Structure 1
Amino acid sequence: MRPLWFAIALAVASMLAPAGASASVQARISKSTQTMNVYVHGALYASWPVSTGRGKYATPSGTFRPRRLERRWYSTKYSNAPMHYAVFYSGGYAIHSTAEVSRLGSPASHGCVRLAPSHAAQFFSLVRAHGAGRTVISIGR
């Protein structure tokens, strides 16, 4: 077992790591399988069903960093729809909770990535704990 000072030094070093350092948290979202795999320090943490954008409301593909976290948020575009545990990654697009859990596993949103409330809360907590600069969101086919 390592001494306490070593653990503290390691924690401080990881907080001071340059922005280009590898991500602590990775969210890999597949629009074709409607799943989100979350990795923490390279190890699979969870695999959850999601709902991405449907029809003309396609979820944008690409690699993003979180821009903003909102514990309680309501859409300013879609009739104040709740978007709790929102991790915004591109403009108004976010990964957030949904009450429509029966629709998870198929495209159903206006472009955001929807998760079950407990999964959205877990992801939100991971991003907040590890930091937006140490989180990468990848969205592909």
Structure 2
Amino acid sequence: MRGNTAGRAGRWRRHLALQALLAVFLCLLTAPAFANILITVDKPTQTMTVLVNGELRYRWPVSTGATGYSTPAGNYTAFRMELMHYSDEWDGAGMPHSIFFTKRGHAIHGSNHPGMGTPRSHGCVRLSLQNAETLYRLVEQQGLSATKVVIAGPDPAGNWAASSAPPAVRTLSPGESRQRTGPFRGLFAPFKRR
């Protein structure tokens, strides 16, 4: 009699396991499909490329940080979007279609400033208003968490952002001050590779 109970319990466990697998399978079928978005900004060429699931969707001119206002090189995940952000750092300057990629306030956003294709920003990545809106809508549609941002290359002076350098590598030259400069009140400083 006891073996019969063990057989029923085993069948019951298999039945529950199959139901669980079926439930997972059905959830996967009905889950919305999100594309992977890779935004790459090449600072030396001042160009942004946007790949969706590995296929080139857009290539646009951008404006990254001017000398003294480096856009930090590195790999990021976009984490916040604002249809219209007003900068606390720069006298309430409007930043339409902002996609933030650093906790220090760096964002990709629209701008009507002239000079796309040349480094002129205070550290953000500027796009034309139309291209910023297109990118914002794409990220909004596909999902913020699926959006990766890669900032590559040195700034115009050949400097790399401190965040892209290995820690504790930089040494001060004789007479050099420890005071940091930059657009975010000392949160990062330009870093020149030697």
TM range (shorter): 0.7 to 0.9
Equivalent position of 1:70 in the other structure = 82
Q: Secondary structure at the match of 1:133?
A: helix
Measured against aligned partners, the alpha-carbon deviations of 1:83-115 in whole angstroms (never above 9, x if no partner) come to 010000102000000011x31000000000000
Equivalent position of 2:162 in the other structure = none
* Correspondent of 2:31 among 6, 9, 12: 12
In the aligned structure 2, how far is the partner of 1:82 from the partner of 1:64?
A: 23
CA RMSD of aligned residues (A): 1.7
CA gap 1:41/1:83 in 2 versus in 1, 3 angstroms: same
* Correspondent of 2:95 among 83, 89, 95: 83
Give, in angstroms, the shift of residue 38 of structure 1.
0.4
In the aligned structure 1, how far is the partner of 2:112 from the partner of 2:30?
A: 37
Asked if 1:111 is matched to 2:123, the reply is yes
CA gap 1:10/1:42 in 2 versus in 1, 3 angstroms: farther
Q: Secondary structure at the match of 1:46?
A: strand
- The letter of the residue matching 1:34 is Q
Q: Secondary structure at the match of 1:71?
A: strand
User: What's the % identity of the aligned pairs?
Assistant: 38
In the aligned structure 2, how far is the partner of 1:45 from the partner of 1:31?
A: 19
Equivalent position of 1:96 in the other structure = 109
In the aligned structure 2, how far is the partner of 1:27 from the partner of 1:40?
A: 9
Name which one, 1 or 2, has greater alpha-carbon Rg: 2
Normalization by structure 1: what TM-score? Answer: 0.84
Q: Secondary structure at the match of 2:94?
A: coil
Give, in angstroms, the shift of residue 10 of structure 1.
5.2
Q: Which has the higher contact order (CA 8 A, sep 6+)?
A: 1
* Correspondent of 2:55 among 26, 30, 43: 43
What stretches of structure 1 of length at least 5 have no aligned partner? Answer: 1-8, 16-22
Moved over 3 A (4+): none
* Correspondent of 2:46 among 30, 34, 37: 34
CA gap 1:11/1:109 in 2 versus in 1, 3 angstroms: farther
In the aligned structure 2, how far is the partner of 1:48 from the partner of 1:65?
A: 20
